[in-house]
Structure formats: C-alpha cells, structure tokens
Amino acid sequence: MKMNTIPIRRNFVLLACLTLTLAFLWVICTAEPSVADPLIKKNKRQYTTDFRLDACTFSTTGSNEYFILEPGYQLNLAGEEKGVLIELSITVLNETEMVGDIETRVVEEMEREDGELVEVSRNFFAICNETNSVFYFGEDVDIYEDGEIVSHEGAWRAFENGNLPGLIMPGIILLGARYFQEIAPEIALDRAEIVKMDATLQVPLDEFENVLVTLETSPLAPGEKDLKFYAPGVGLIKDEAAELIEIVNP
C-alpha cells in the first residue's frame, strides 16, 4: 500500500516555520540595544520638523480654526492645582517682531499663582497664507519671584544658534499628526500629537463641541505629558488645571 506523505511534509514545513519564527523573536528580545533598537524605532511614528517654510508667505494677522492672531483678542483661563489658584491670560498684542526675515505677531502670556506674577512670555507667531498653518518663531521669557525677574529660562528665537521655527497649529487637522512646536536644542523642544478631533468639553465659560485635543511632550522632560484642548473659532480652552473663563474680542 502506498503511503500518503503530504500531511507529513506539511507538518514538517509548519514545524520549520514555527522554529524559525521563535528563533527570530528570541534574537530580537535578547539582542543588545544596538541590534534591537533600530527595529523598534523603525515602527515609531516620528514628529515632523520639516515644514517647507520656503513655500510660505506669512501674515501677522488672521486665524485658522483653532488659533487666532487678531490684535486685541484675549483668552483668560483659571483653575486650581494642588491648592494653588492658577490664572493664565493670553493676549494678541498690537505689536510685531522681526525674527530673522519674518515679521511675526507678538502674543503675550501672563501666568499668576495665588495672584502673584510668576511668568510673562512674549511669543512670536505668523500664519502661512498657503496652508493656514500657524508657526512659532520663539519667545522672550521673564520668570518672576517676589515681583523680581530672576530668570529667562526657556527663551529662544528661530534662526539663532541652530534653532528653527516650529508648528503651533496645523492648517489641516489630521488625527495622529505629530509635529514639533519648538525646535531649540537643549532649550525648548515641545512637540504635540493630535489625539482627538471631536471632543466635547465643559469649562466654566461654556460647553464646547468638536474640540481638538493635543498631547504635548518634550524629549527634554521625559515622562511629562500635558493635554491641551482647543475649541473651533475660540482657541485654547483648557491647559492642565486652567480652564477658559473669559473671551475678550477686539
């Protein structure tokens, strides 16, 4: 009687494939970092740093859906964190600043803790007319203690010391998009990922729909994460404990 060898061959092939797969996994899991890391990193989505700014013409006024650069526009946020009252005021000033060859709009942020001024920053933004994206060209920073300026930590400007502009708000919103907001090595490397586009959020001022949510991190502060919430036609409505309490239109 002739034996059927096909099932035996199939079993042998399956066993061989399984053996090779297990061997490959063992190599990856037990390999030195220099061997395994490139395979792991290959699957990680990177944060964009190349924004093709040479294709942009810039304006110092205007807005995209989630970021407004109209002089006089102001957002006031407040909230309590660890028993401390946090107050944040964001004002689009009637001032511009040249950063390199780009004219930018100055946006002032003032932060208080229990009524005491702790930080004032002058941030430099401009809108790309072609994409409606808002780019970030740096900031001047004053850190206060007991009413006195004690530091300028975090200050940077694009086109100086290897610094480059970052993207603060894309003109086209894509879920999962990742981009650097600041590109100032060893000083400021904030980056954002769009994690939600249709959130509903109640803050002291009102309830907002179609809220954009970004997750911010920085390689300079491993492990730290910050969720920010932006409402269409308004802008930032929640930053950590601080929530929107007032909008001032020009």
Element (DSSP H or E) covering residue 92? strand 84-99
pLDDT at 147 over 50: yes
pLDDT at 44 over 90: no
Give tens-digit pLDDT for 90-126: 999 999 999 999 999 999 999 999 999 999 999 999 9
Q: Please list the helix, strand and coil fractions of the chain in percent, rounded to the nearest 5, in that order.
A: 15, 50, 35
Give tens-digit pLDDT for 51-96: 999 999 999 999 899 999 999 999 999 999 999 999 999 999 999 9
* Coil, strand or helix at 233: coil
* Coil, strand or helix at 166: strand
pLDDT at 142: 98
Residue type, 192: A
pLDDT at 239 over 80: yes
What values do phi and psi take at 4, rounded to 5?
A: -85, 110
Give tens-digit pLDDT for 135-145: 999 999 999 99
pLDDT at 41 over 50: no
CA–CA distances in Å: residue 52 to residues 2, 132, 154, 184: 71, 13, 25, 18
Give tens-digit pLDDT for 150-208: 999 999 999 999 999 999 999 999 999 999 999 999 999 999 999 999 999 999 999 99
pLDDT at 92: 98
pLDDT at 250: 80
Give tens-digit pLDDT for 123-134: 999 999 999 999
- Interatomic CA distance for residues 129 and 58, integer angstroms: 6
Supply 27's token pair: 């190599």
pLDDT at 197: 98
Give tens-digit pLDDT for 223-236: 999 999 999 999 99
pLDDT at 45: 82
pLDDT at 137: 99
Please name each of the domains of the chain with its CATH number: 53-248 (2.40.360)
pLDDT at 12 over 60: no
Q: Is the pTM of this model over 0.85?
A: no
Task: Tell me the longest C-alpha to C-alpha distance in the chain.
Answer: 100
pLDDT at 6 over 70: no
pLDDT at 148: 96
Say how many C-beta atoms besides its own lie within 10 A of residue 9's C-beta.
10
Q: Are 87 and 112 in contact (CB under 8 A)?
A: yes
Q: State mean pLDDT over 217-226.
A: 95
Residue closest to 159 by CA, chosen among 96, 97, 99, 98: 99
